[in-house]
Structure formats: structure tokens, C-alpha cells
Amino acid sequence: MANLSLRKPMDQLLTEVDDPERSLKKTLGPANLIALGIGAIIGAGLFVRTAAAAANNAGPSVTLGFVIAAVGCAFAGLCYAEFASMIPVAGSAYTYSYATMGELVAWIIGWDLVLEYGIGAATVGIAWSEYLNKLLEFLPGSPTVPYAWCHSPFEVLRDATGAVVSHGIMNVPALFIILALSLLLIRGMRESAFVNGLIVIAKVAIVILVIITGWHFINPANHNPYIPAPTTVVDSQGVAHHFGGIRGLLGAAGVVFFAFIGFDAVSTAAQESHNPKRDMPIGILGSLAICTVLYILFAHVLTGIATVQDFRTAGREASVAYAITKYMAGYGWLAKLVTVAILAGFSSVILVMLMGQSRVFFSMSRDGLVPKVFSEVHPRYRTPWKSNLLFFVFVGSFAAFIPGDIVGDMTSIGTLFAFILVCAGVWILRVRDPGLHREFRTPLVPLVPILGILVCAAMIFGLGWPNWLRLGIWLVVGLVIYFGYSRHHSKLRASAR
């Protein structure tokens, strides 16, 4: 059990950046990174989780949930920006933790990031499947995907009387989109970034269009009361949620927190950035600021157009298209346009999350904590292609066989835990090595890291005990792997013997 806090030397981390045999191709500038961040941020969180949080947690005050989540992300984002400018190496929070808090904590955070990126990609893949069916409904004569083949085995379709009329078997569309984007990532980051840039422009334009046109259809009655009285609601899967009051707000913040996942994925591309010390803070904070404003406005409009009951029943899936079709007469064309843009937007989110996941395990593999296959680089494309294929199998399995609400909440709690460790890491490193050169410095340390830890912990509290239990089980599995394999194959530990 000795040396569990063994830390990776900073000079070794920085040396790896310049190793041509182990480096990734540098193709990204600040504009690419901001687009990468927006590409990951605006997606399922906004178009799917907003309605889920309104239905199960906060009603129209889901906008305040976005504010709480944004505050937590801003504190964490400032900490991420300092680390990313100081340690421009692929791996994100895993790499930062290895340099500040030691190997065991680094392993925990690396394993935890699978919840953020891998399970997050599965969540968005499931949402992509929902909107694909909505698009097929809009196309005359086009067959839709049968319920059994676009839902997990744990989901059932009920009629108006509550009788079960169909059982889910496998979510085939979700599996398909994850495969397609995994193959694109293998092809290369330049091509992936170009495709992502086009998608970002389209979906940001659609979000703005919905805000502008939908504003005139807001029904003030839907915003009254803005913060519902505390009560409990049971969702379609039979899970009870705190609705209204402060518990409802914290729960909503934890649910819609998924909507902000992505700005930290920018940091995983540090090794593929032209000038990471300058570009990382710009990419992280720029994408976060732009998306926060759009989120609050969008949530206000969506909850003003449709009712909370809509989001609990017929409008639970593809909620944005449903609200437009039902309440915005004469705007059927917008519902169709939104559906196409959302499908494209979801694709970019999955792309960035799969990229982030493979880059985290790329770093862990180079350190010996996971098998070498995860860091094998394609001789032509210079991408971790075997890692992409392995994570297709893993992520695709979750997307095909687990309900979206479950994987979405697992993603949120895993990311919140990662943010807490990053905030703590900045504080620890300031105390341990205050003279280290920092291109970007988090302001008001330790106040900002402490506030980041507290806000993220409050959102974890709001997600409730089922998600605490899932996180606990996940971490126990990770510790078994660490003590059974990683600790014995650690290159840093071997060099210290």
C-alpha cells in the first residue's frame, strides 16, 4: 500500500509533449478549440435534459438550475484553464491529478472520466435515436424505427390505460451513430474538427432561431409558480424525485449539469493544439461563456411554450420538436429544421466525447495503468485507433441496452466528482509548488477552488442516493482494477523502485 501518492514529475509530463514517437498531430487553434467546446456543450443536455429536469425536479425554475450549474462550471473552468495552460498534455483531469495528488487519485479520476466521456457519449447516442425517429415521422411515407429496436430492454411502451404494448430490445440507431463517429475519429482530428465546425455553426443558429421565434409563444401561466412548492414526483421508470423547493433546484442543477459537459473536453486536446498555453484558456472559458447565455434563454422559452405535464408524458422524448409542433402554429417547418439540426448537433457532441475518452486512456496507457493497446497510434492517421474501436464496443453497449435517464445521471455525477478533484488539485499545487510557471492563473485561490468544490458537491447531493450508489459501485470496480492490474504495471512506480 506504500507510495499510493507517488506523483508524476512535471518535467516528465512536459518532455512527453515533444516526443515525436508518442505525440499527437498538432492541428487545432483557439477558434477550433472554442468550436470543439461548443460542439460538446450544446447538445443532449440542452435539447433533452432540460425537459427532464423541468418534469422531474424544478418546473420552470430549471433556468435557475442552469445558473447554479454554470456557476459551478465557471469555478471548475478557471481551475481547468490553469492546469491546461500549465500541463499541455492529453489526458485532462487524469493528467492534472497525477502531477498534483498522486497515482491512486489519478487512477480514480481517470476511471471516473469514463462516466463523463464514455457514458456521456452513450447518453447522447440515445437522444440522437429519439430525434431520428421524430425526423422520420416528419417525412411522408418514411418508416419509423420500431419501438423495440430504438429502446433498451429496460423500457416499455404503454397505452393510455397503462397497459404495456411493446418492450424495448436494443437501440440500433444509437449504436449506429457511435460506430460512424468512432470511424471518423480514427480518420483524424483535422477532418473531425472541420466536420464539427460546420455542425456548431448550424446548431447555434438553430438555438438562436428557437429563442427568437419561441419568445412570442411563451404562456406566462406556464411560469407560474416559477419555483414550485416542494413535493415528490415519480418518473416513467418508477424512480422518485424531489420536485420544487431547494432540493428540486439542486436536483435540476445536477441533471442539467450534463448540458455543460464539454468545455473540459477541450483540455483533452491540449497535445493537439498549436499553442496550448495560450489557446487552452481561450477554448475552455470562451465556449463556457457563450453556451451559458444561450442555455438560460433557451430554457426560459421552452418551459414557457410547453407545460411541465407535457414533459412528463407525450413530450418526454424529442421535447423541443414536440413543443414547437403542439404550441407554435404555423411553425411546423421549424420543428423539422430543429430536428435535423439537433441530430447534427448530437453527432458533434458524441464526436467530442469519444475523442476525450480515447485521449484520457491514451495518457493512462502510456503510464502503464491500462494496457498498451489504448496508446497505439495509427501509423498514417496518428490517432489512437485501437482505443477508438474498443470504446465503440463499450459505449455502444451502454447506448444499445441502458435507458437514457440512467446513463445521463451517471454522466453528471461522474463529471461533478472529476471537477471537485480538479479544483482541489489547483489549490494543492499552489501550496506545494507556488513558483511553477503558470501561463494562466486561476484568480482568488483558494476561494475559487473552494467555491467550485462546494457548488459541485451540492449538485451531487441533489442527484440523490441512487446515483451516489452507482458512483460508489463504479469506483469500487475501478479500485479492484487498479490494485489488480494498474499498480503492478505502472511505469512511474517501476522507475521509482
Instruction: Give dist(CA 351, CA 354) in Å, integer.
Output: 5
Higher confidence at residue 396 or residue 409?
A: 396
Of the pLDDT bands very low, low, confident and very high (cuts 50, 70, 90), residue 1 is very low
Q: What is the pLDDT of residues 12-34, one digit of tens each?
A: 766 665 555 555 566 677 888 88
- State the pLDDT at residue 148: 92
pTM above 0.85, yes or no: no
What is the grid cell recorded at 201?
A: 455553426
Which one is predicted more confidently, 143 or 487? Answer: 487
- Give residue for cell 495509427: 378
If you average pLDDT over residues 367-374, what whole number do you get? 91
Instruction: Determine the Cα–Cα distance for residues 485 and 371; give it in Å rounded to an integer.
Output: 9
Closest by Cα among 357, 355, 363 to 106: 363
How many residues in the chain?
497
User: Three-state SS for 455?
Assistant: helix
Contacts of 241 (CB under 8 A, 6+ apart): 56, 57, 232, 233, 234, 235, 248, 251, 464
Closest CA to 236 of 31, 29, 467, 52: 52
In one letter, which amino acid is 78?
L
- Which three three-digit cell numbers place residue 166? 411493446
pLDDT at position 193: 62
**425-438: pLDDT as tens digits:** 899 889 988 887 77
